[in-house]
Amino acid sequence: MQVTVDSMRAFLDTELDVDGRRPQRSLAEYLAAIPRLTSLGSLPRGTSVLIRGDVDAKPGAKIGEGDIRLRSMMETLEFGRQHGWKQIIFGHIGRKPEETLQKVAKRLGELMQCDVPLVVDWLDESTVTIRDCVAEQIRHAAPGSILVLENTRRYAIERVLWKAKPAELPKLAESLARLTNEFVQKVAVNYVNEALSAGSLDASTLVVPAAMDRVALGAYVAKEFDGPMLRCLKTQLVVFSGLKIDKLDDLDAMIGRGTIQMVFTAGSLAMALKRAAAELDGGQFSLGVAEDPAHADKPYFIPRERIEQARRMIAAGRAKGIEFVLPVDFILQDGRASETIGPHDQQFDVGPKTSALFEQKVGEFISRHHGQAAVAFYNGVFGMFEDPRFAEGTRRFIGQLKRLKDAGVEVYVGGGEGGAALDLYGQPNDVTHCFTAGGTVLNALGSEPVPYLVALSQAAQRLSSGK
């Protein structure tokens, strides 16, 4: 169907919660509103289906290297091939517009054992129109074919919502409506999201579904949400760390659900909580350069409002009996272990006393839940683990994940850097499940809904209402 500028504006207002009136839905409610892949099983042979793929991958020399996200798409792609669909995969790789999906298309061909051509110059940016030759290529493709559109982020329109202000949306709605209508007219009217990691505000993820006749979650994405992701909502032990202080919002939301009993933190999150706990207990704790206004433009800077947020979290958490397990020593920039952080210092890892404390507290959690069902969630790394000088805290704690699982605790790893650390210092079967998308998991468990679930649920609601 055609999308008007007004309907696109309304779609964007809801997606971005412009007026704060977006319906408050739980993760389970969003998932219940979106059809699954099998709902498209009646589409006729030769139907074109647009696949938002998890193509942000860097395939290695052979299958199994750097292509886990591509392999996650295979069940959906095989379903489409068995039904004779023409599947047009699109998505991004990295954040640089010049990156190419050439190796991705080649690896998908190897995985699916067929030729997967890369459609390079598919959009005329000056007019926001999909080139007629692309429509012709799709029209002449055989049933069961798979094609890949080149990196969507090569085009500015894919990225216009990243930092868009509400006042800019009326103007953007016109070009975005045109883009979605172009996809309907020249590519496909059926849309499947099989990109678990697609958590950014990309047009391909958020606005293209608005024009579709049918939308669905892919097989892999649906399994991840319906199973492991919903289980993570029951988390009792959470390990949260990392450089980005805005993760505090996600931790706050997780604590608010009322299941968490023990919180382990490191990185910038721990700094905010450490300072807050000290103040609540009548003391002080220096954050070093992380609180110096001269470093306000740095990602590790912790503004005062985050300390206040951490104070509220700890006070409320303590009232509920939640135990916050905070670092007691740190590895500083020069490799020293210290229980304090000087005004010119920066912490890059937790110290050995903290690792010992974390191991003790894991043991206490295991004893407390012996013979009972329990869930643990691990996200992020404890320091600059890519540098061997600052990797020991992360390395030691990865061993605790296996300890928890061996004791009968369900252990989920949030992907991203946490998944990379598991690859380095553990084995896949050391945990119950490791996600392939860190940011999406934080959205799902945190303070904001996953953007593409909002988009797909909007599209599905429109379709079910016949509007």
Q: What are 63-87's pLDDT values in tens digits?
A: 999 999 999 999 999 999 999 999 9
Could you report the per-residue pLDDT of 244-253, keeping only the tens digit for each? 788 888 888 8
3-state secondary structure (DSSP) of residue 263:
strand
Residue 466 pLDDT: 64
Rounded to a whole number, what is the distance in angstroms from the first to the last CA of the chain?
10
| Mean pLDDT on 149-176 | 95
In sequence order, what are the beta bridge partners of 214?
Answer: 190
310-337 burial code (b ≥16 CB/10 A, e <16): bbebbeebeeeebbbbbbbbbbbeeeee
Average pLDDT, the chain: 93
Higher-confidence residue of 280 and 19: namely: 280
The full set of domains in the chain, from first to last, is: 5-222+449-465 (3.40.50.1260), 233-436 (3.40.50.1260)
Q: Which residues contact 71 (CB under 8 A, 6 or more apart)?
A: 63, 111
> Does 399 have pLDDT greater than 80?
yes
C-beta of residue 87 within 8 angstroms of C-beta of residue 230: no
Picking from 179, 214, 188, 158, the residue whose alpha carbon sits closest to that of residue 89 is: 188
Query: What's the mean pLDDT in 4-26?
Result: 91
Tell me the pLDDT band of 401, cut-offs 50, 70 and 90: very high
For residue 309, what pLDDT band results from cuts at 50, 70 and 90?
Answer: very high
pLDDT > 90: what percent of the chain?
82
101-154 pLDDT, tens digit per residue, is 999 999 999 999 999 999 999 999 999 999 999 999 999 999 999 999 999 999
Whole-number Å distance between alpha carbons of 425 and 386: 12
| Beta pairing partners, 262 | 237, 323
Rg for the chain, CA atoms, rounded: 23
Rounded to the nearest angstrom, the gap between the alpha carbon of residue 62 and the centroid of all alpha carbons in its chain is 26
Instruction: Compute CA distances 113 → 38, 60, 103, 365, 412, whole Å.
Output: 23, 17, 15, 48, 32
The C-alpha angle 186, 53, 200, rounded to 5 degrees, equals 100
- The amino acid present at 231, given as its one-letter code, is R
How crowded is residue 112: how many other Cβ atoms within 10 Å of its Cβ? 18
How large is the average pLDDT for residues 423-437? Answer: 91
pLDDT of residue 174: 95
